[in-house]
Amino acid sequence: MATETASTLNLDSIRSQFPALSQTVQRQPAVFLDGPGGTQVPRRVIAAIAGYLRRNNANTNGAYRTSRATDRMIETARAAMADFLGCDADEIVFGPNMTSLTFAMSRAIGRELAAGDEIVVTTLDHDANISPWRALEERGASIRMVDIREEDCTLDRNDLEQKITDRTKLVAFGWASNAVGTINPVREIVERAHAHGALAFVDAVHYAPHGPIDVRALDCDFLVCSTYKFFGPHLGVLYGKRRHLERFQPYKVRANTNAVPNRWEWGTLNHELIAGIPACVDYWADLGLQPGSSFSSRREALLAAHAAVERHERGLMAELIPRLLGIPGLTLYGIRDPQRFDQRCPTVALRIEGHSPLELATRLGKRGIFTWDGNYYALNLTERLGIEKAGGFLRIGPVHYNTAEEMERLLAALENIVRV
């Protein structure tokens, strides 16, 4: 496909770093289009996790070598995530996944809410950024749900403006939809929340593999992401402004100190997976390298990497979406206009008349093409669109390691399924 030439990524070199990508199904190379559910990991991440278990496996704060190495490793991982998000290392909290971290924060924030306080959430969001806030209805908080514009699955700006008021204490919203790929106007939403004295809690889980994050520039109060969505281990990461992490009161054990971020990290963390994080961030930084390029910091290299990834993914989407729209009986949910592709990720949700999403995913799976069907926990969205009971959508989720040839194989397979 012509657009591949616009990409500056060296796909052969990139793909050779991911052992999982060389698998075959029925002697055909497997096509991993399940990135939004979790991406594959490069060899160096696998090596870092295994290496930690081999050499340094210990608990923290002990007076001996492996324990001290573990302490240092966790600090290195914190610094790596701080580079990835653009904040200080002590503003990074590790947890098992985004959902657990969001519940932890909702419990703490909920301690300060009074009856009549409002929390704004959105129909576009994954349930992990809705249910933890809904749980606060027990404490008398009211949840206000921002609607979407059905025609392109973007947030309804008028509704957003009306729902955020001086009663709003927190606005919880996603940077990008894990179902239909819409990228929200995050900066604008943060500003609106702050103008009404509310906190802004951003779910960047879906956005993180697709675009750069700068929490300082965004000025959000909290941001959550999951490293397993951007080529790292199965872990969640929370950024919080230091003053919030210091002021809100977590439920914690006495042995946790009151220092940030320790007061938010209870029990023993998953050390071996945290050991994979610096390798994951370094993988990203190397993606930013071009012949002759030099960077004064890892953060600068990360930003260059994101620019290259965005270019490549735009190319994939520019070829994929118009071709999908030509398949008879296919409905594509979300932004379809190529002029607006800067407002979406390459994640595509569709339905094809006469074929359930499960049937499509199964038939593609048999051909070695891995996609998802259902709601992917974007349950409010599938309900709002009236497709929840009909099996949700088929989701095609390319990331930067996917190639134009893989898009061709997917399109040919779908065209064939529809024809037969």
Among 181, 236, 240, 374, binds ligand PLP (CB under 6 A): 236
Q: At what angle do helices 43-55 and 65-85 cross, to 10 degrees?
A: 150
Site for ligand PLP, residues 56 to 75, rule: CB under 6 A? none
- For residue 51, give the H/E element and its range: helix 43-55
Q: Closest approach of Cβ 370 to ligand PLP, in Å? A: 15
Tokens of 287: 């993606």
Q: Closest approach of Cβ 243 to ligand PLP, in Å? A: 25
Q: Between 176 and 404, whose beta carbon lies closer to ligand PLP? A: 176
Tokens of 246: 């210091």
Q: DSSP of 276-329, one letter per residue?
A: HHHHHHHHHHHHT--TT---SSHHHHHHHHHHHHHHHHHHHHHHHHHHHHTSTT
| Calpha distance 75→77 (Å, rounded) | 5
Bridge partner list, 395? 349, 372
Q: Between 206 and 271, whose beta carbon lies closer to ligand PLP? A: 206
414 contacts: CB under 8 Å, gap ≥ 6: 324, 327, 330, 352, 360, 364
Q: Closest approach of Cβ 68 to ligand PLP, in Å? A: 30
Q: Closest approach of Cβ 203 to ligand PLP, in Å? A: 5
Q: Between 42 and 236, whose beta carbon lies closer to ligand PLP? A: 236
Q: Between 288 and 392, whose beta carbon lies closer to ligand PLP? A: 392
Q: Closest approach of Cβ 396 to ligand PLP, in Å? A: 15
Q: Closest approach of Cβ 122 to ligand PLP, in Å? A: 11
Q: DSSP of 250-266, one letter per residue?
A: ----TTS-SSTTGGG--
Q: Between 41 and 98, whose beta carbon lies closer to ligand PLP? A: 98
CB atoms within 10 A of CB 94: 23
Site for ligand PLP, residues 158 to 217, rule: CB under 6 A? 174, 178, 203, 205-206
Q: Between 58 and 345, whose beta carbon lies closer to ligand PLP? A: 345
Count of residues engaged in binding ligand PLP, rule: CB under 6 A: 14
Q: Closest approach of Cβ 176 to ligand PLP, in Å? A: 7
Per-residue CA distances from 33 to 97, 211, 335 (Å): 22, 18, 19
Site for ligand PLP, residues 93 to 132, rule: CB under 6 A? 97-99, 126, 128-129
Residue 375 touching ligand PLP (CB under 6 A): no
| Calpha distance 113→116 (Å, rounded) | 9
358 by DSSP, 3-state: which?
A: helix
Q: Between 36 and 110, whose beta carbon lies closer to ligand PLP? A: 36
Q: Which residues bind ligand PLP (CB under 6 A)?
A: 36, 97-99, 126, 128-129, 174, 178, 203, 205-206, 226, 236
